[in-house]
Chain A
Amino acid sequence: MIEPFTVPFMARALAEIALLALICGPVSVFVLVRGLAFVSDALTHTVFPGVVIGFLAGGLDGLFLGALVAGVVTAVALTVLTRAGGLSDDAATAVVLTAMFSIGVVLVSRRSSYTSDLTSFLFGRLLTVTPRQLAETAVLAVVILVALLIGARAMLFRAFDPVGATAAGFRIGRLDLWLNLLVALVVVAAVRAVGTILVVALLIVPAAAARLVTGRLAGMAALGTVLTVVAGYAGLLASWHASVRYGTALTPASAVVLLLVLAYLALLPVRLRRSGRRAGAPPTTERNSAHELVG
């Protein structure tokens, strides 16, 4: 169970996943309470052309910078579009998502090694994480967690009651930009290891799974992290054994995500049992339209 991780590249892969788990647990809680699942999905896709351009310009080192620039630009663009645009949130997000993603595909398709490049951008290379990459992820993790900690209270207030938060003097637009930037940074941190497609799972599933067990925010963040670490460990182990013992290739990142989703499915009955017990309690009102404008 431990032995595969004595091999350096496996140890680095596990360390990378653990660092990502540390940020994805708390950040996914905010993605959940703000209902940003689709925006997160969009961010992962819009980072894609940045990754490709970065790679074309500067190889693996350029990849990181490209992702960072694309992530920041799209976080700003999405915040502006969803706040000021005449389009609905979903439509604006979808427009940005598809446009940026297709630009990425066009750029990749001009390369001769099209297939292997595309695969590594989309699904990451968890087993080739370098010590430098680990260090970069660690720095980003610290930045993300500190920024999240500072803004957490205000962002929680904003997610719970936007009008109340505005009345209390908080700038909603800035808080939204803040969170979108954090999500973008998580994507940047994770993109080389797990790829642009699978990183969205790390932004949504940890909190969604933890939510099935606990209604406490801190508990959700902690449990989300633990679940991701366990899924990371088990996923790497599975991919190791699949390759060493059975000679089949199992992309470690997809194994990790599959296990994370399995954890979600395994926890579903817990939620169903709890809500079954509460069946006698008075029904809670569903959220209506955002706010009444007139009345």
Chain B
Amino acid sequence: MGDAALRYAGVSVGYHGRPVLTHVDLELRAGQRLALVGPNGAGKSTLIRSVLGLAQVLDGAVTVLGRSPAAARGLAGYVPQNDVPDAGFPVSARQVVLMGRYRRIGWWRPTRPADRRAVAEALDRVGLADRAGHRFGTLSGGQRQRVLLARAIVAEPRLLLLDEPFNGVDAVSQEAIVRVLRDLTGAGTALVLSTHDLTVARELADLVCLLNGRQWAVGPPAETLTAEPLRRAYGGQAIDGPGGRLVLIEP
């Protein structure tokens, strides 16, 4: 199939020649939602970074939108964890969203009305039209995450990557983000998000990839988010709770 948004075949990824995550085999098609699930340090962020060409592919083949990760930069949208950018940075929410259009605007040209419209629409879509002029750092964690999502949307990516988009995010923001993500995939965007929240993965994802140093399982949530695969992926961090329920312990 030539139209895969993302294809990993026998891949190991890492940094400075040392593997962080091995045995990755997966394929994501347009409009599908993939959740990367695993404990802290499992390699979720590394996998996302490898899609962007920011982590080393040590083994196997990675194809992003039909090309190498480095060549696909600018085509895939990326939403970082909301605690990454400097909170004191002197930019408004509107300016942050406009960054998503910079590549399209180019080096020489000034911002065009179409760009400003796209920014306003994206902010409206994430429910923050009234916060456009606020300084990014003064927004709440959930609002910052929504602004970063809007920044990714204005670039109209065919593949969208989100690193722990629901970390430290309030319920209103989570709802707004989930709604936008469903809209996007409905329109054909492929989605990859990392999370350690199994409920989110179960509700949102078509595909779940269980990670912990290596890929332990990949498939629909009904097959992967069950006791046996989870026990394998989480190892000693999965214990049997009362009533036959599996309890995952985050260190």
Complex interface: chain A residues within 8 A of B189 (CB)? none
Q: Given A156-B99, A163-B84, are A168 and B74 neighbors across the interface (CB < 8 Å)?
A: yes
Complex interface: chain A residues within 8 A of B88 (CB)? 284, 287
Contact A287 B87 (CB under 8 A): yes
Complex interface: chain B residues within 8 A of A211 (CB)? 90
Complex interface: chain B residues within 8 A of A151 (CB)? 107
Q: Which of these binds chain A: B135-143, B225-233, B240-248?
A: B135-143
Distance (Å) between the CB of B79 and the closest chain A CB? 8
A165 to B96 CA separation, bound complex (whole angstroms)? 11
Nearest residue in B to A32 (C-beta to C-beta)?
B90
Nearest residue in A to B89 (C-beta to C-beta)?
A160
Contact B102 A154 (CB under 8 A): yes
Interface residues of A in 199-229 (CB under 8 A from B): 211, 215-217, 220
A168 to B72 CA separation, bound complex (whole angstroms)? 9
Distance (Å) between the CB of A276 and the closest chain B CB? 15
Contact A169 B73 (CB under 8 A): yes
Contact B84 A291 (CB under 8 A): yes
Contact A156 B91 (CB under 8 A): yes
Contact B90 A168 (CB under 8 A): no
Distance (Å) between the CB of B58 and the closest chain A CB? 14
Contact B86 A160 (CB under 8 A): yes
The interface centre, meaning the residue of A167, A169, A294 with most chain B CB atoms within 10 A of its CB, is: A167
Contact B89 A167 (CB under 8 A): no
Complex interface: chain A residues within 8 A of B107 (CB)? 150-151, 153-154
Q: Which of these binds chain A: B1-9, B24-32, B42-50?
A: B42-50
Complex interface: chain B residues within 8 A of A164 (CB)? 78, 80, 85, 99, 148, 151
Contact B138 A161 (CB under 8 A): no
Q: In the complex, which of the residues B84, B90, B100 contacts A220, with contact meaning CB atoms closer than 8 Å?
A: B90
Contact B46 A287 (CB under 8 A): no
A3 interface residue (CB < 8 Å to B): no
A7 interface residue (CB < 8 Å to B): no
Nearest residue in A to B75 (C-beta to C-beta)?
A169
A280 interface residue (CB < 8 Å to B): no
A281 to B134 CA separation, bound complex (whole angstroms)? 13
A150 to B109 CA separation, bound complex (whole angstroms)? 9
A94 to B160 CA separation, bound complex (whole angstroms)? 41
B126 interface residue (CB < 8 Å to A): no
A33 interface residue (CB < 8 Å to B): yes
Q: Given A168-B73, A169-B73, A281-B138, are A216 and B90 neighbors across the interface (CB < 8 Å)?
A: yes
Contact B83 A285 (CB under 8 A): yes
16 more CB-based (< 8 A) A-B contacts, given A156-B91, A160-B85, A168-B100:
A153-B99, A154-B107, A160-B86, A160-B91, A161-B99, A163-B54, A166-B52, A167-B76, A167-B161, A168-B103, A169-B73, A169-B74, A170-B102, A216-B92, A287-B87, A294-B43
16 interchain pairs (CB within 8 A)? A159-B89, A160-B96, A161-B85, A163-B49, A166-B73, A167-B73, A167-B78, A169-B103, A170-B103, A284-B88, A287-B87, A293-B20, A293-B46, A294-B45, A295-B45, A295-B46
